[in-house]
């Protein structure tokens, strides 16, 4: 949205929150492509009429250049003429004219296959092919500024039914790394030798992926929360993605969505679920519809995995030695590998955690191994996989490669480790690579 329109909304926020009736606008905002269905569902769930109005105005500021005039149209169509006139008087350049067919992507009401995306592909057969849009009854139609018909680079697997996230902004987005190495004596947590090696690798890697990287070292619990809050309050509207990397001791805690917790150097922990909440669609509107990635190098508990025997042709030579340490802390609350309350999140749509991926260095409940000389297994392999495959493979595919390689390692010739992820991404994610930039 243009800055002048955003300021107009901000100056009139009090009047809008007081008088706006959001319920009369939802259909129009959806039809005109200003909001997606997920965003509208999230606004509806924010509370009272005033709270919905406040959330609607905040979200509106994050939308594209046509969001303001289309909002004025919706006000007029809903009979809220006084508010429309109030905004129109301050922004006379905003014309109340319907967008041309080429400017508005209208939602598909019925979940039946349509031929228009394929027709577009045929019409552009002399140009670079594009991914057709995926049509599902439960998938919201993205607004115009979120639509990404990315050319398919050579060598990538054809996945015509899945879109890709827009990842071509420069810089691509912010990357926050929190590296906790030296813990207070009263915390009864050991220092994490080798973590600085992990931090250096990931800082270099995400800078190479065109991210703005910020490293924070040895933070207490309240400082971790402060940095995450500051990140959520940044304006991400010009960026395509956001990354948070946590390098610390960890433990298992009760949860209803994302398991595990990460310790501050004072011995107080922050649940992973709370970490992700700072950047979800509700608390960080400028990241709505954009991928939020969390990489957690910390233990999920104190249970060591002894592995199980497999046939020789399934096992590659393992690495690991006497210097291997764990980031384990005794479990703070008992639970199964997944909380039974997870079923509370089984809804037709998941607007709050959408576009979030949390990659764990180890399966919930188990320790994560770190070599004091070369860093953690997970980070070492993650860094190498990104370097070797970023130009051709999407993130989820690369994380599967990481899972496979880490699972082949063995600490002290005995203990194993199995990384994994909780994936709420809706599209394929391809990082920028130096060869493609």
Question: Which residues, at least 6 apart from 419, have a Cβ–Cβ distance to it below 8 Å?
Answer: 359, 360, 361, 362, 363, 378, 399, 402, 403, 406, 407
Residue 161 maps to a domain:
no
The answer to whether residues 389 and 251 belong to one domain is: yes
Residue 139 maps to a domain:
no
Q: What is the CATH number of the domain that holds 222?
A: 3.40.50.1460
pLDDT of residue 210: 96
In tens, the pLDDT along 111-123 reads 444 444 444 343 4
Q: Place 335 in a pLDDT band, splitting at 50, 70 and 90.
A: very low
Where does a domain end: 74, 90, 106? 90
pLDDT of residue 213: 97
**pLDDT for residue 151 is more than 70:** no
Tokens encoding 261: 């917790």
**pLDDT for residue 428 is more than 60:** yes
> What share of the chain has pLDDT > 90, as a percent?
32
Q: What is the CATH number of the domain that holds 16?
A: 1.10.533.10
Among the residue ranges 220-224, 391-395, 413-417, the one predicted with the least confidence is 413-417
Give phi and psi for 261, each to the nearest 5: -150, 155
Domains in the chain, number: 2
Residue 160 maps to a domain:
no
pLDDT of residue 367: 59
Average pLDDT of the chain, as a whole number: 74
d(CA 148, CA 127): 16
d(CA 296, CA 139): 28
Domain containing residue 324: 173-423
Among the residue ranges 43-47, 51-55, 200-204, 373-377, the one predicted with the least confidence is 373-377
Q: Catalytic one among 199, 249, 255, 284?
A: 249
Where does a domain end: 90, 116, 137? 90
- Specify the higher pLDDT residue, 96 or 357: 357
Q: To the nearest 10°, report the CA torsion of 341, 344, 346, 347.
A: -170
pLDDT of residue 92: 62
Tokens encoding 368: 């994560």
pLDDT of residue 226: 96
Whether residue 190 contacts residue 183, with contact meaning beta carbons closer than 8 Å, is answered with: yes
Residue 136 maps to a domain:
no
Whether residue 296 contacts residue 274, with contact meaning beta carbons closer than 8 Å, is answered with: no
Residue 218 maps to a domain:
yes
Residue 249 maps to a domain:
yes
* DSSP codes, 34-47: SS-HHHHHHHHTT-
Whether residue 87 contacts residue 15, with contact meaning beta carbons closer than 8 Å, is answered with: no
Mean pLDDT comparison of 155-159, 161-165, 411-415, highest-scoring range = 161-165
The answer to whether residues 190 and 309 belong to one domain is: yes
Where does a domain end: 90, 109, 124? 90
**pLDDT for residue 260 is more than 50:** yes
In tens, the pLDDT along 271-325 reads 999 999 999 888 899 999 999 999 998 864 344 333 334 344 444 444 455 445 4
pLDDT of residue 315: 41
Whether residue 212 contacts residue 231, with contact meaning beta carbons closer than 8 Å, is answered with: no
Largest CA distance in the chain: 76
The answer to whether residues 222 and 86 belong to one domain is: no
> What average pLDDT does this structure show over 4-11?
83
The answer to whether residues 36 and 178 belong to one domain is: no
Q: Say whether 241 is catalytic.
A: no
Q: Is 249 helix (H, G, I), strand (E, B) or coil?
A: coil
Residue 271 maps to a domain:
yes
> What average pLDDT does this structure show over 84-105?
59
**pLDDT for residue 410 is more than 80:** no
d(CA 291, CA 280): 10
d(CA 61, CA 274): 25
d(CA 254, CA 74): 44
Tokens encoding 41: 């569902």
Polymer length of the chain: 437
d(CA 101, CA 358): 38
Q: Say whether 249 is catalytic.
A: yes
Distances from the Cα of 345 to the Cα of 97, 116, 253, 353, 429, angstroms: 41, 34, 18, 10, 24
Whether residue 100 contacts residue 76, with contact meaning beta carbons closer than 8 Å, is answered with: no
Q: Place 370 in a pLDDT band, splitting at 50, 70 and 90.
A: low
What's the pTM value of the predicted model, to 2 decimals?
Answer: 0.56
The answer to whether residues 180 and 75 belong to one domain is: no
pLDDT of residue 373: 64
d(CA 42, CA 136): 19
The answer to whether residues 57 and 197 belong to one domain is: no
d(CA 218, CA 216): 7
Which of these, 15, 33, 122, lies nearest to 73 by C-alpha position?
33
Residue 101 maps to a domain:
no
The answer to whether residues 306 and 406 belong to one domain is: yes
The answer to whether residues 50 and 182 belong to one domain is: no
H or E segment to which residue 56 belongs: helix 49-60
Residue 368 backbone zone (phi > 0: left; psi -120 to 50: alpha; other: beta): beta
Give phi and psi for 381, each to the nearest 5: -75, -40
Q: Place 346 in a pLDDT band, splitting at 50, 70 and 90.
A: very low
Q: Is 230 helix (H, G, I), strand (E, B) or coil?
A: helix
d(CA 5, CA 93): 10
The answer to whether residues 212 and 85 belong to one domain is: no
Query: How far from the centroid of its chain's Cα atoms is residue 113's Cα?
Result: 28
- Specify the higher pLDDT residue, 74 or 348: 74
The answer to whether residues 86 and 177 belong to one domain is: no
The answer to whether residues 70 and 218 belong to one domain is: no
Among the residue ranges 94-108, 163-177, 194-208, the one predicted with the least confidence is 94-108
The answer to whether residues 206 and 347 belong to one domain is: yes
Q: Is 413 helix (H, G, I), strand (E, B) or coil?
A: coil
């Amino acid at each position: 949205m243009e800055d002048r329109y955003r300021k107009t909304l901000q100056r009139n926020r009090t009047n809008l929150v007081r008088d706006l009736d959001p319920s009369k606008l939802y259909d129009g905002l959806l039809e005109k492509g200003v909001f997606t269905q997920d965003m509208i569902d999230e606004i509806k769930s924010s509370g009272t009429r005033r709270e919905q109005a406040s959330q609607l105005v905040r979200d509106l500021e994050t939308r594209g250049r046509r969001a303001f005039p289309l909002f004025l149209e919706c006000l007029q169509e809903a009979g809220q003429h006084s508010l429309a006139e109030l905004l129109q008087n301050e922004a006379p350049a905003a014309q109340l004219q319907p967008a041309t067919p080429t400017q508005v992507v209208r939602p598909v009401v019925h979940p039946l296959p349509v031929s228009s995306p394929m027709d577009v592909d045929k019409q552009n057969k002399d140009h670079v092919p594009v991914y057709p849009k995926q049509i599902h009854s439960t998938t919201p139609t993205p607004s115009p500024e979120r639509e990404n018909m990315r050319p398919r680079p050579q060598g990538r697997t054809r996945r015509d039914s899945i879109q890709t996230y827009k990842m071509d902004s420069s810089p691509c987005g912010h990357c926050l790394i929190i590296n906790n190495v030296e813990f207070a004596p009263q915390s009864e947590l050991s220092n994490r030798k080798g973590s600085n090696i992990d931090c250096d690798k990931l800082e270099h890697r995400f800078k190479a992926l065109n991210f703005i990287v910020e490293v924070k070292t040895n933070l207490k619990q309240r400082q971790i929360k402060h940095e995450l809050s500051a990140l959520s309050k940044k304006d991400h509207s010009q960026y395509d993605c956001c990354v948070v990397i946590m390098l610390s001791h960890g433990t298992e805690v009760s949860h209803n969505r994302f398991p595990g917790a990460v310790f501050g150097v004072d011995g107080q922990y922050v649940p992973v679920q709370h970490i992700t909440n700072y950047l979800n669609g509700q608390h960080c509107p400028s990241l709505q519809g954009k991928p939020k990635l969390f990489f957690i190098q910390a233990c999920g508990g104190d249970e060591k995995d002894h592995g199980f025997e497999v046939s020789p042709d399934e096992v590659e030579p393992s690495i690991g030695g006497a210097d291997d340490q764990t980031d384990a802390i005794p479990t703070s609350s008992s639970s199964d590998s997944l909380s039974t309350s997870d079923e509370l999140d089984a809804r037709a749509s998941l607007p709050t955690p959408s576009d979030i991926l949390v990659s764990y260095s180890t399966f919930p409940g188990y320790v994560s191994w770190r070599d004091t000389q070369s860093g953690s297994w997970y980070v070492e392999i993650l860094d190498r996989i990104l370097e070797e495959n970023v130009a051709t493979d999407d993130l989820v595919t690369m994380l599967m490669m990481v899972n496979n390689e880490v699972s082949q390692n063995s600490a002290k010739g005995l203990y194993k480790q199995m990384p994994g992820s909780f994936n709420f991404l809706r599209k394929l994610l391809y990082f920028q690579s130096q060869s493609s930039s």
